[in-house]
């Protein structure tokens, strides 16, 4: 069958957790297959800071993210078209997802004015004005050639209340129709609408229902992870996955902390992105199951262990914590070495979740992960409540402490015997 007769995105659920809403899937795109749940590293300007495309392939990264607003400004549509799209321009053979530029309505609010036509931005580079409409966003994304594109949505700060939230949700629905109408490459690229509605359950439900009436191949959940309480955050995710269709991928925008990823996979999310892994690397921090190692701290000066003995990334194979402490934030190569490890950590975490789902052992994975992640610290109430909502019960604090005590006693007994 000719590729042109095959949709540019197909999605198949390959395994489901028998307890929670977690599922493992296979998404087939024009440039690569993507196993879900998946974390997508962010290459805003068409590059991940500190990592080459060949290094991402070595890590088996299947899909990354670019930003429409920034790529539309630099290098611009003309250059992208001349280069044959972003894949060729940046030398990346696998899948790409592009954000629409809507998030910049919040992050660059002082430079933006929003109305029904679109968003009028003032360039942070040369102060020139640029009107980003739904049509122009799609025009840029068609030039980029991303496998998955986002609609331009009306984004408000997550803590916003009142009529502005409903206005933004209704406008997002109107704008998706303009995006669909403007989309000129539906044979090659798939357009996702974005669920908005703030922290209002009825608005989220209304938005999901309206977007499901459109002929699309997947859905994004937006307007979260921007300062709202974690209790509100997980409930909005839960509401959205309860109502979104089972047979299409679900993408939660801007989420990347390890505990959040585990909880949201349990709640039924398939795709994630965040700048966190590479951004924290630039501050000398390495990701591990227990959280972060701040390698700038003096305690790592004489530590000749790798960041993580279980990690198979090139950084952990070749360099010690002591060496990384020596160069952290002082040498530009430290950003590269730590970014490689941090992206490898995120991808390995997602792979571990996929495998646990396929073995139907996901609840056990979650319990074990949370024990490693929080150690002797109490697990936040929001995590306990979110997991309980999908039938995963974490051990009570007393039981957790008792297990730690038994484990320590067995360790001491083993030492005595030896």
Tokens of 382: 């929001």
What's the pLDDT at 412?
41
Specify whether the CB–CB gap between 390 and 383 falls below 8 A: no
pLDDT digits (tens, 9 = 90+) for 116-129: 999 887 766 677 77
d(CA 260, CA 264): 6
> Residue 119's pLDDT is what?
87
Find out whether 50 and 281 touch, Cβ atoms under 8 Å.
yes
Q: Of the listed 99, 147, 260, 289, which one is catalytic?
A: 99
* Entry pTM: 0.93
Least confident of 7-16, 123-132, 376-385: 123-132
How does residue 417 score in pLDDT terms, banded at 50, 70 and 90?
A: very low
How many other C-beta atoms can be found within 10 angstroms of the C-beta atom of residue 19? 17
**DSSP three-state, residue 285:** strand
Per-residue pLDDT, averaged over 13-38, amounts to 98
Is residue 200 annotated as part of the catalytic site, yes or no? no
Over residues 56-93, the pLDDT tens digits come to 999 999 999 999 988 998 999 999 999 999 999 999 99
Q: Is 196 annotated as a binding residue?
A: yes
What is the pLDDT, as a whole number, of residue 229? 97
Angle (CA) 158-268-219 rounded to 5° is 65
Q: Which tokens in the block code for residue 206? A: 């209304």
**99 part of the active site:** yes
Percent of the chain with pLDDT over 90: 82
377 is in an annotated binding site: no
pLDDT value of residue 418: 38
The annotation status of 31 as a binding-site residue, yes or no, is: no
53: Cβ–Cβ under 8 A, 6 or more apart, which residues? 90, 91, 92, 93
Among all chains, which residue has been given the structure tokens 């699309």?
A: 216
Q: Is 54 known as a binding-site position? A: no
Confidence at residue 409, expressed as pLDDT on a 0 to 100 scale = 44
The whole-number average pLDDT for the span 152-163 is: 92
pLDDT at 41 over 70: yes
Model pLDDT for residues 344-358, shown as the tens digit of each residue? 999 999 999 999 999
Place of tokens 């909880």: 263
Q: What is the mean pLDDT of the chain?
A: 92
Is 156 strand, coil or helix? coil
Enumerate domains of the chain plus CATH numbers. Answer: 9-273 (3.20.20.105), 282-359 (no CATH)
Instruction: Please pick, among 154, 273, 289, 308, the residue that the annotation labels catalytic.
Output: 273
Closest CA to 38 of 366, 358, 347: 347
Q: How confident is the model at residue 369, as a pLDDT?
A: 98
């Amino acid at each position: 069958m000719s590729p042109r007769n095959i949709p540019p995105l197909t999605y198949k659920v390959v395994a489901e957790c028998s307890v929670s809403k977690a599922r493992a899937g296979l998404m087939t795109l024009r440039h690569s297959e993507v196993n879900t749940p998946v974390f997508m590293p962010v290459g805003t300007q068409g590059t991940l800071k500190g990592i080459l495309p060949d290094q991402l392939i070595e890590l088996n990264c299947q899909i990354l993210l670019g930003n429409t607003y920034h790529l539309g400004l630099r290098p611009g549509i003309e250059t992208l078209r001349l280069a044959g799209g972003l894949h060729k321009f940046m030398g990346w053979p696998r899948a790409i997802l592009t954000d629409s530029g809507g998030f910049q309505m919040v992050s660059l609010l002082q430079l933006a004015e929003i109305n029904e036509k679109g968003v009028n931005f003032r360039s942070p580079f040369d102060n020139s004005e640029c009107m980003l409409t739904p049509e122009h966003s799609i025009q840029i994304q068609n030039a980029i050639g991303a496998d998955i594109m986002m609609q331009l949505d009306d984004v408000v700060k997550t803590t916003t209340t009142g009529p502005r939230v409903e206005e933004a949700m209704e406008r997002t629905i109107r704008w998706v129709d303009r995006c669909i109408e403007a989309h000129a490459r539906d044979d090659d690229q798939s357009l996702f609408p974005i669920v908005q509605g703030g922290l209002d359950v009825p608005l989220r439900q209304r938005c999901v229902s309206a977007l499901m009436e459109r002929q699309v191949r997947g859905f994004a959940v937006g307007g979260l992870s921007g300062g709202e309480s974690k209790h509100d955050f997980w409930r909005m995710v839960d509401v959205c996955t309860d109502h979104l269709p089972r047979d299409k991928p679900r993408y939660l925008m801007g989420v990347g902390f390890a505990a959040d990823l585990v909880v949201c996979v349990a709640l039924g999310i398939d795709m994630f992105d965040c700048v966190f892994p590479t951004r924290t690397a630039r501050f000398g921090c390495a990701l591990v199951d227990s959280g972060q190692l701040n390698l700038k701290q003096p305690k790592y000066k004489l530590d000749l262990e790798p960041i993580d003995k279980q990690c198979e990334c090139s950084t952990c194979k070749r360099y010690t914590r002591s060496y990384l402490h020596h160069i952290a934030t002082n040498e530009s190569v430290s950003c590269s070495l730590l970014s490689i490890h941090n992206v490898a950590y995120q991808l390995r975490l997602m792979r571990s979740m996929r495998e646990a789902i396929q073995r139907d052992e996901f609840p056990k994975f979650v319990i074990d992960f949370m024990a490693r992640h929080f150690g002797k610290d109490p697990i936040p109430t929001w995590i306990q409540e979110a997991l309980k909502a999908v039938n995963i019960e974490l051990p009570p604090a007393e039981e957790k402490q008792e297990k730690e005590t038994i484990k320590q006693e067995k360790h001491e007994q083993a030492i005595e015997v030896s």
